Structure 1
Amino acid sequence: DKEHRHKDHKKDKEREKFKHSNSEHKEHSEKKHRDKDKERLKHSDSSSDKHRQKHKDRDKDKRREEKGIKHKKKIKDKKGTDGKKVKKEEEEKWKWWEEERYTDGSKWRFLEHKGPVFAPPYEPLPGKVKFYYGGKPMKLSAPAEEVATFFAKMLDHEYTTKDIFRKNFFKDWRKEMTSEEKSVITDLNKCDFSEMSEYFKAQSEARKQMSKEEKQKIKEENERLLQEYGFCIMDNHKERIGNFRIEPPGLFRGRGDHPKMGMLKRRIRPEDIIINCSKDSKHPKPPPGTKWKEVRHDNKVTWLASWTENIQGSIKYIMLNPSSRIKGEKDWQKYETARRLKKCVDRIRAQYREDWKSKEMRIRQRAVALYFIDKLALRAGNEKEEGETADTVGCCSLRVEHIKLYPKLDDQEYVVEFDFLGKDSIRYYNKIPVEKRVFKNLQLFLENKQPEDDLFDRLNTSILNKHLQELMDGLTAKVFRTYNASITLQQQLKELTCSDDSIPAKILSYNRANRAVAILCNHQRAPPKTFEKSMQNLQNKIDEKQNQLSAARKQLKAAKADHKASHDDKSKKAVEMKRKAVQRIEEQLMKLQVQATDREENKQIALGTSKLNYLDPRISVAWCKKFGIPIEKIYNKTQREKFAWAIDMADKDYEF
């Protein structure tokens, strides 16, 4: 008992410290455990076993404690749940943020998993489904037929009408053909995939019409695969894997006008896969008759498997789920770095303003670029091989053609107009007034340049990142985006939230604050295809509710008149009932109206990207706790799992 009390006391102290998480705590924690880590590393052979044993012992203690708690709760649970199963979700949640972190650069001590799930093998088309060339049916070899089906499945998509897509597809398709097929099939325009396309549409329709039992069977098989391959053991804890299925082969689409669209994404085989696990774990077995490319034991990385895809030559990884310790720690670290920027951002701003006057052109260019990254939350923009990717740019790679200068525009002075394609080929268009010195510098940078020349010809991403690193350890353009996004959310919530508002009205304020951030970060989307229809349905509900309210008010008026005439208890109760009905319908109507406003305002803004990647979740959690908003209204179940550390850590007074 003493030991348990001591542990509880220790845990409470730790929790208190983490609640007010800051750099001081981290330094203290690291110092405190540095010697322990050195000691562990000295005995590296036995470290995994000892570490796992330590976790096992602690887990046993935890289980004993929990058993005691469960025992006390048993009677209450039985009474309160009417025979339903009690969710153990809360009790089983591993609070990794309350434990010490590795300070030697390692990410884990023990890692065991089953490896990836491969795409099913190709099933040839039934004999009755034919491919036609020049109007005549033609039997294709299995490899050629498989690639033809990829095109057939996309026949109704605008991609298949694009010249670059068709050219790349045909070139790669011919590589899969036999020499005989190559000699016959020489023109894509003579190919007829329509019968194949109709077959796949019918298949898709049949899947939609499946019986409940058939759907259940598929669901059970997916669940079996998830249980077998979707989890790993990391440092004695069962952790969910994010993407344990290998992507099937298909045609590369890319975003925007990607020069490689239409190329064949090849089937990934076990021989392409590098497995990463601990030496003392049970290694994953490759499918029968195959072998892995390599098995590694690198605990300085967080991936479980990797391979190189054939289109861009980039490395793909199987990683843990966002709710895992590894991902959570990375998120937490990201927001702590942005909070460190808050402490020195004034100094950095003063520095770049001073640099606008520098005698060196390269320093002036660097200072103006940094001003844009800070003020407009622009991405830095990486150098790319020409013709390898779509023509997208960031701050450092802006060209003369991407900006226009207006000494005066619409009653504003020194206006810069930006127009370029950013990440994922999303257009960035903005007219923004800038400071006079920035404007004069831009005029200088544009002198004697052609439209296709670089605006910042003395600057690239690596030069900028090196400079940012000198200003603050760990500083990048993304840290500026994270800082500006989070600080904007916090300020907007303070300005927009009224404590007297109803919960739906407060949530509307939250979404408006979130939208201000999404606009800052240029997170756009095309309005959903069903937008008009869903808005019409919502408007119909509003009209219906208004009619109900009108009828309820009439009934209340009649009840009041009745009570005035009779003055008895029965009529008094009737008035009260009708009043409550009016109140209830008014609340329902307001909810629907708020929903309509919210949906209309956000039809072209993607709120999710900033909410999940740029906004410190502790700001939202603190706001919920301060104004009594259920966290479920802001974060769905998956998001709550991802941000469990923030939900537990932040109190109502948390400041970014």
Structure 2
Amino acid sequence: MGSTEAVSKPVMHDEDDDDNKPLVFKKSFVKDGDQSHRKPFDINGDSEDGRPLRSIISMTQEQEINGNTTLDESDDDEAPISSRLQKKKHVSEKPKVSGKRLVEKDSYEDQSSMKKHKASSSTAKQDSMNLGEKRKAVVSPNDTDDEDDDDVPIAKRIKADSSSNNKTPPTKPKVTKQSSTASSKKLKVTRVASPPPKKRSKRSRKDSEYAQWTTLVHNGVTFPPTYQPHGTKIFYKGKPVSLSPEQEEVATMFAVMRETDYYNKPIFRKNFWNDWRKLLGKKHVIQKLDDCDFTPIYEWHLEKKQKNKDSKEKKPEQGEKYMWAIVDGVKEKIGNSMVEPPGLFRGRGEHPKMGKFKRRIHPHDVTLNIGKDAPIPECPIPGERWKEIKHDNTVIWIASWNDPINPKRDKYINLGDSSSQKGQSDKKKYEKARKLKDHIESIRETYTKNFTSKDVSKRQIAVATYLIDKLALRAGNDKDDDEADTVGCCTLKVDNVECIHPNQLKFDFLGKDSIRYENTVEVESPVYKAIGQFKAGKSNSDDLFDEIDASKLNDHLKELMPGLTAKVFRTYNASITLDKTLRRETKDGGDVNQKKVVYDQANKEVAIICNHQRTVSKSHGAQVKKLKDKIDELKEGLKQLRTNLKRAKKGEAPLEGSDGKKTRNITPEAWEKKIAQQKMKAEKMERDMQTKEDLKTVALGTSKINYMDPRITVAWCKRNEVPIEKMFTKALREKFTWAMDVEPDFRF
């Protein structure tokens, strides 16, 4: 059958000699080929007809295990996964390490039991054909070349070995399903001549270009357990009132929030009451929320919470089979396989819909995304069925449903942050921001020139681009009446911007997630003048940029650089600020804690640029006071240590301790060492207290997760011998696995 290939196997490491060292002393933070979260996957669950799920994997993957194909990592790392597929190599070549573990061979037995789903349109057939052409693998001589037969598994629709490419393909049996419910029923086979290959459509080329995977298998999603009534009554005007299970469930959601700020917010209470009243009905005895006393339910909640704590009862696990997907033969973790539970919507900031009841999501609300040849996952709730099944290989979500609070939005369950697909998506995002470096000067020259353009539309686009660049504002889209009245650059109103002589602008509006944006900035004189002209003759509620909208602005940005958006500006400015600040502020010497302070301050600068705010925590004051008390105690101890040093130099015995006990007599050198240690401890606490105070209203996590290229942080840690654990949590280290092997001299 032609040449065969060696199997790529993960490199085995001896971890005993390396794990005890700080990560900073290792060659890289992640060992080559370390994909510990991607273990060989033996599917133990059953398909809907009772057969093992391990029987569903395609023949192509079995050939990979048997040595017929191998992963080729020499391709461009930024290319979509579907374009980095296996290429044949001569058997004498040294196998290349893939860094991923493929599914074990015995997981692919019983291929005949695989379920196949018929494509719903000719377009879907053509997409499948293109994916098959991209994946080159060796197939059996008995397999035929029929790109258009969607009833045949992908593996059997892949081009044959090059040695048989010139042969005329024989006729191929077309398989038609009679039933998918009983494994005992046979498939009807009809032999038909292979139709001539079709030309690729533009849509097919585009889909193939952006393909994220070739095969995708998973077991669906899970749902929160059904509500169990507790039967606790509430008081209405001092009298106990019984509630139905549906009424009690929503009342409990409200009662348990008694100690939060939401509980007493007028808009939260109003929205809750409007939705709860619909469940109560017009004739219910409860007619006013303020006359309700939810104390009995709140006390029941506290009692149950304490019981769970005493018994150390764990939350029920979602189930191992729902936590993983198999993507192109590799086991990848799913972010969270459970759909959102019902509850009262909170939102962020002063969201106008806070307090509304977020209804329970059912299987008939959920759309699943799987491979064309994957079996449809069994619905976990008897009598229910999925809303829809999709086969979109250009996305990495596995399930979606309509948001009950914001019907125009969809919610998704995605592959986990540690998956290779998500990692490559992140890398592309930061690489696009890096490309902006090559265009940023010309872009700034262009909008600066247009500040004084006679064309009002050009002038508004120039000023809007300037604000997006300098203030990291979002583009902004028009809002419907039922949406939060948040504002972006293009939707600023006249009263959102105040001109302060000679060249300052004061911004005040609700930004993303209804978080208030307040900022006074100094701008260039032409910008100040242009804003004044845009405001002239308008009322406070009129649009500041009345000649443009987000669509027009985005079209302009894409003319400046392919793929340029407001978010690319934000990612670029966040990353370049971090890079330059760390290079400028990090000094040689100093301990890890001092270097961490430098990093936190640089992170703070980025968070301020991106306007990532947070409310001051209730415990902030107590935490600062506790640190201050410890610092005062250390300083008092320093005074006594210095006194004992003087006494030791005179040959006198040290003073008694504060507890009245005698202090051991030691040499002057020993006292000096104690003083240095105590002083260092006090200085560290002072730094911690100052950092806590500086960052009390700044959210560092958002920019670290979404906008600062992680390679900057990793390279900085390597250059300055700072353990990566000090900068990134375990979750972030898994998310940014792709960045861990960056060189120490990396520059954004």
TM-score, normalization by structure 2: 0.70
Q: 1:467 — aligned with what?
A: 556
Alignment partner of 1:655 is 2:747: yes
Q: 2:613 — aligned with what?
A: 524
Q: 1:596 aligns with which of 667, 689, 693?
A: 689
Aligned residues: 567
Alignment partner of 1:401 is 2:495: yes
The alignment partner of 1:541 has SS state of helix
Q: 1:173 — aligned with what?
A: 276
Q: Is the 8 A contact 1:256 1:390 kept in 2?
A: no
Q: Is the 8 A contact 1:381 1:393 kept in 2?
A: yes
Alignment partner of 1:643 is 2:703: no
**1:539-578 to 2 correspondences below 5 Å:** 539-557=628-646, 574=667, 577-578=670-671
| Cα separation, 1, equivalents of 2:80 and 2:460 | 41
| Cα separation, 2, equivalents of 1:491 and 1:50 | 52
| Cα separation, 1, equivalents of 2:605 and 2:300 | 46
Structure 2 counterpart of 1:542, one-letter code:
I
Assess, with a 3 A threshold, how the Cα gap between structure 1 residues 49 and 205 changes in structure 2: closer, same or farther. farther
Q: 2:486 aligns with which of 367, 392, 409?
A: 392
Q: 2:162 — aligned with what?
A: none
Alignment partner of 1:198 is 2:293: no
Q: Is the 8 A contact 1:372 1:378 kept in 2?
A: yes
**1:40-439 to 2 correspondences below 5 Å:** 40=135, 47=154, 104-126=209-231, 129-177=232-280, 182-208=283-309, 210=310, 214-215=311-312, 217-218=313-314, 221-222=316-317, 225=318, 227-286=320-379, 287-313=381-407, 314-386=409-481, 388-408=482-502, 414-439=503-528
Alignment partner of 1:478 is 2:567: yes
With 34-43 and 367-376 compared, the bigger mean Cα shift is at 34-43
The alignment partner of 1:584 has SS state of helix
With 304-313 and 167-176 compared, the bigger mean Cα shift is at 167-176
| Cα separation, 1, equivalents of 2:628 and 2:612 | 27
| Cα separation, 1, equivalents of 2:437 and 2:613 | 27
1:503-533: CA deviation from partner (whole Å, max 9, x where unpaired): 2111111111111111111111111111111
The alignment partner of 1:396 has SS state of helix
| Cα separation, 1, equivalents of 2:155 and 2:213 | 9
- Give 1:556 deviation, angstroms: 4.8
Instruction: Identify unmatched segments of 5+ residues in structure 1.
Output: 17-23, 52-101, 409-413, 564-570
- Give 1:277 deviation, angstroms: 1.8
Assess, with a 3 A threshold, how the Cα gap between structure 1 residues 365 and 554 changes in structure 2: closer, same or farther. same
1:7-46: CA deviation from partner (whole Å, max 9, x where unpaired): 99xxx9xx99xxxxxxx96689999969977442885855
Assess, with a 3 A threshold, how the Cα gap between structure 1 residues 191 and 579 changes in structure 2: closer, same or farther. closer
CA RMSD of aligned residues (A): 3.3
1:312-356: CA deviation from partner (whole Å, max 9, x where unpaired): 112111112222212211111111000000111001111111222
- Give 1:554 deviation, angstroms: 4.6
Structure 2 counterpart of 1:439, one-letter code:
Y
Q: Is the 8 A contact 2:85 2:135 kept in 1?
A: no
Structure 1 counterpart of 2:303, one-letter code:
A
1:92-114: CA deviation from partner (whole Å, max 9, x where unpaired): xxxxxxxxxx9632211222222
Assess, with a 3 A threshold, how the Cα gap between structure 1 residues 265 and 395 changes in structure 2: closer, same or farther. same
- Give 1:50 deviation, angstroms: 9.9
TM-score, normalization by structure 1: 0.79
Structure 1 counterpart of 2:601, one-letter code:
R
**1:484-499 to 2 correspondences below 5 Å:** 484-499=573-588
Alignment partner of 1:449 is 2:538: yes
Structure 1 counterpart of 2:212, one-letter code:
K
| Cα separation, 2, equivalents of 1:437 and 1:632 | 46
Q: Is the 8 A contact 1:34 1:103 kept in 2?
A: no
The alignment partner of 2:368 has SS state of strand
The structure with the greater share of residues assigned to helix is: 1
Q: Is the 8 A contact 1:48 1:110 kept in 2?
A: no
| Cα separation, 1, equivalents of 2:319 and 2:643 | 57
Q: 1:86 — aligned with what?
A: none
| Cα separation, 2, equivalents of 1:7 and 1:227 | 24
Assess, with a 3 A threshold, how the Cα gap between structure 1 residues 317 and 452 changes in structure 2: closer, same or farther. same
| Cα separation, 1, equivalents of 2:389 and 2:347 | 31
With 454-463 and 298-307 compared, the bigger mean Cα shift is at 298-307
- Give 1:160 deviation, angstroms: 4.2
| Cα separation, 1, equivalents of 2:269 and 2:499 | 40
| Cα separation, 2, equivalents of 1:350 and 1:466 | 18
1:196-229: CA deviation from partner (whole Å, max 9, x where unpaired): 2222233234334x1xxx32x516x43xx35332
Q: Is the 8 A contact 1:618 1:646 kept in 2?
A: yes
- Give 1:420 deviation, angstroms: 1.5
Q: Is the 8 A contact 1:275 1:296 kept in 2?
A: yes
Q: Is the 8 A contact 2:78 2:424 kept in 1?
A: no
Identity %: 44
Q: Is the 8 A contact 1:40 1:47 kept in 2?
A: no
| Cα separation, 1, equivalents of 2:329 and 2:622 | 50
Instruction: Identify unmatched segments of 5+ residues in structure 2.
Output: 12-27, 33-74, 88-130, 137-145, 159-206, 653-663
- Give 1:407 deviation, angstroms: 2.9
Assess, with a 3 A threshold, how the Cα gap between structure 1 residues 28 and 398 changes in structure 2: closer, same or farther. closer
Q: Is the 8 A contact 2:473 2:489 kept in 1?
A: yes
1:87-135: CA deviation from partner (whole Å, max 9, x where unpaired): xxxxxxxxxxxxxxx9632211222222222111111123xx2133344
With 447-456 and 348-357 compared, the bigger mean Cα shift is at 348-357
